[in-house]
Amino acid sequence: MKRQNQGSENEKSSAPAPKRRTFLTAAAGLGALLAVTTPAARAASTAPRAGKKVVMVVQLSGPNLAVDQKIAAHLDARGYSVRMLDQAQPPEAIGDADLVIISSTVSSKQVAAGWRYLPKPLLTWENDLLDDFAMTGKRHDVDFGEAEKERYLWLVNAPHPIAAGLPAGVTNVYGKQAAMSWGKPGLGATTIATLYGQPEKAAIFAYEKGATMDYESLAPARRVMFFLNNDTFGNLSPAGNSLFDAAVDWTAGAS
């Protein structure tokens, strides 16, 4: 109370200091905001992915090509250079790509042989190819398969980069219930997430180069399985999108 009752002369001399501090704080905050939104800052955010070449293996004449094109546009916006390749093309057709993504829009029986041994990082959400790639066993609906109506995952390995910084536990990855692919990976895999309430069904798992996959095969490069289905990319929640981006970045070595 005594300080409030001091003379007006003291009040006048002390008033400008708080205003100046307020102005400096506001200016600093505005500067930080501008730094975040400048083109240079946006370019820096894509720097780890700049120049990374991605080949997406899809069914170019299939009914879900628009979904694959949306994914390609999303990756392009994040700094990747994406090229589409038809399912019938052999692995040699990827050229100097840094990452191969095989969409579930392919017809697994029409996919050319040889991808299992490709010495390039590979990410897929086609569960019917997991056994062909030695990422799981061979029994359909036992070693790999598809859950028709799911919305949640259980993150079991939060420290891994593919977990995108999300906390361990239940994570809502779809806007509404939809199909999810899953698999039972080999002993050398790192499981990131499982279907909610079904811990034996891995929805996201990864092999580091040289890790033991199924059939005692060694991963010739990084291998990642993600839970998407043909048309579910647009159904991803913000958390689902973060997991997708993290999976692509880790597989490509652009984390």
User: Residue 224's pLDDT is what?
Assistant: 98
User: Using CA atoms, how far apart are residues 151 and 42, in angstroms rounded to an integer?
Assistant: 32
User: Residue 5's pLDDT is what?
Assistant: 40
User: Using CA atoms, how far apart are residues 226 and 206, in angstroms rounded to an integer?
Assistant: 9
User: Using CA atoms, how far apart are residues 132 and 112, in angstroms rounded to an integer?
Assistant: 11
Give the tens place of pLDDT for each residue, 200-220.
999 999 999 999 999 889 999
**Backbone angles phi and psi of 105, in degrees to 5:** -75, -10
Tokens 């840094």 belong to: 98
Which amino acid, one-letter code, is at 252? A
User: Using CA atoms, how far apart are residues 75 and 69, in angstroms rounded to an integer?
Assistant: 10
User: Residue 45's pLDDT is what?
Assistant: 61
User: Nearest 5°: CA angle at 167, between 164 and 168?
Assistant: 110
User: Using CA atoms, how far apart are residues 118 and 8, in angstroms rounded to an integer?
Assistant: 81
Biggest CA-to-CA distance, the chain: 89
User: Residue 53's pLDDT is what?
Assistant: 98
3-class SS of residue 18:
helix
pLDDT < 70 stretches in the chain: 1-46
Q: Rg of the chain over CA atoms, in angstroms?
A: 24
Listed residue (183, 163, 180) closest to 232, CA to CA: 180
User: Using CA atoms, how far apart are residues 136 and 155, in angstroms rounded to an integer?
Assistant: 20
Give the tens place of pLDDT for each residue, 118-169.
999 999 999 999 999 999 999 999 999 999 999 999 999 999 999 999 999 9
User: Residue 222's pLDDT is what?
Assistant: 98
